[in-house]
Amino acid sequence: MDPEPLAPYAATESRSKGRRYDEPAARYRGQYQRDRDRIIHSTAFRRLVYKTQVFVNHEGDLYRTRLTHSLEVAQIGRSVAVALRLNEPLTEAICLAHDLGHTPFGHAGQDELNDCMREFGGFEHNLQSLRVVDELEAKYADFPGLNLMFETREGILKHCSKANARQLGDVGRRFLDREQPGLEAQIANIADAIAYNNHDVDDGLRAGLLTLEQLQDQPLFAAGYDDVQKLHPGLEDRRLIYETIRRMIGMVVTDLIENTRANIEAAAPQSIDDVRAAGKVLVAFSDEVYEQHVSLKRFLQKHLYSHEKKLDMTRRAQRIVRELFDLYSADVSLLPAEFAGRAEGGDEADKARVVADYVAGMTDRYAIAEHERLLG
Ligand code: MG
């Protein structure tokens, strides 16, 4: 299947709001391809390999990390973008970057760091992803961060408080004007949810924290499971699970593409600006699949993310993040030189932000090792 020309409402270079710092275009790559490549070459991207998705990295070699999660999100996002004649490299760039700001230890780490930062504007991993690509990556001589295209940055910033939006300038505007981002950003957002719902079922079964019996009550799982059993009676569990998950992803992605096509037809956008002003998200499941998707999400929340075995690790992770934050805040000279330099001369809030940037950038295993080294 050769690629079709882009739809008129896709994001394109010629209609882009461009980069924060002007740069000559690359000779052999498009602007969004260049963004994707910069993300892949970033330090924050490499660190995702040792950051938790659900299971802490050293619990087993087969579980997803944030890196493999991000690659799965990108795979799903690209398939949907191509099917809808949208900008594939842009979708890929947003998907690969969406978790760059994540703390060590998944949501436990994020919530604890947010608590540590309560008096100083809080900590939100999504906002931090934008901060990583706009400010924290230090690789290029002519500008801070990765100097990505507006549409890539717009997609990375999935949600944002009004107070933060006011400080962010152009990329925060849509949260004040109640506008939507482009369709590529909308795809990345749902691809994230599709990826984790499905791979967490897989990882949860492998870890023995979920059972096949429990999952029979989930319509998305049960439909695929019944199909596989009919087609391949007596198939061993491992392959039965893969075949079921494969079907689940296929079902929700197909529903997403078809329902989004219908939404686009109804809204009839002529340009990306029409998409932004459409008044609602156009990339969406049908009502029926949305309900099933949410039901599976709630199921995972209850049976996997809040599992007693997970909670032990959650408490340990919270203690590590809190104690590291407190220690560095009390003595910024313990920070590496470039962070210590930024912390000096600032007020309390500036100092806390530098410490949060440093702790957020840690991988799980580095945080554990630093905690052990400094606090025994
Ligand atoms: Mg994610």
Question: pTM for this structure?
Answer: 0.96
SS (H, E, C) the chain: CCCCCCCCCCCCCCCCCCECCCCCCCCCCCHHHHHHHHHHCCHHHHHHHHCECCCCHHHCCCCCEHHHHHHHHHHHHHHHHHHCCCCHHHHHHHHHHCCCCCCCCHHHHHHHHHHHCHHHCCCCHHHHHHHHHHHHCCCCCCCCCCCCEHHHHHHHCCCCCHHHHHHHHHHHHHHHHCCCCCHHHHHHHHHHHHHHHHHHHHHHHHCCCCCHHHHCCCHHHHHHHHHHHHHCCCCCHHHHHHHHHHHHHHHHHHHHHHHHHHHHHHHCCCCHHHHHCCCCCCCCCCHHHHHHHHHHHHHHHHHHHCCHHHHHHHHHHHHHHHHHHHHHHHCHHHCCHHHHHHHCCCCHHHHHHHHHHHHHHCCHHHHHHHHHHHHC
Residue 130 and residue 171 in contact, taking contact as beta carbons nearer than 8 Å = yes
pLDDT at residue 344, rounded to an integer: 86
CA of 192 to the centre of ligand 1 (A): 5
CA of 36 to the centre of ligand 1 (A): 17
CA of 104 to the centre of ligand 1 (A): 13
CB atoms within 10 A of CB 273: 13
Residue 193 and residue 252 in contact, taking contact as beta carbons nearer than 8 Å = no
CA of 15 to the centre of ligand 1 (A): 28
pLDDT at residue 309, rounded to an integer: 78
CA of 191 to the centre of ligand 1 (A): 9
CA of 309 to the centre of ligand 1 (A): 22
pLDDT at residue 59, rounded to an integer: 62
pLDDT at residue 4, rounded to an integer: 77
CA of 98 to the centre of ligand 1 (A): 6
CA of 99 to the centre of ligand 1 (A): 6
Mean pLDDT by 10 residues, the chain (376 residues): 86 95 94 98 95 67 83 98 98 98 92 97 95 96 97 95 92 95 98 96 90 95 96 94 96 98 98 96 98 96 84 89 97 94 90 97 94 93
Question: For the segment 140-161, what is each residue's pLDDT rounded down to a tens digit?
Answer: 999 999 999 999 999 999 988 8
CA of 70 to the centre of ligand 1 (A): 6
Return the structure tokens found at 371: 């905690």
pLDDT at residue 57, rounded to an integer: 56
CA of 106 to the centre of ligand 1 (A): 10
pLDDT mean across residues, the chain:
94
pLDDT at residue 58, rounded to an integer: 58
pLDDT at residue 61, rounded to an integer: 60
CA of 114 to the centre of ligand 1 (A): 18
CA of 368 to the centre of ligand 1 (A): 22
pLDDT at residue 64, rounded to an integer: 80
CA of 330 to the centre of ligand 1 (A): 32
CA of 68 to the centre of ligand 1 (A): 10
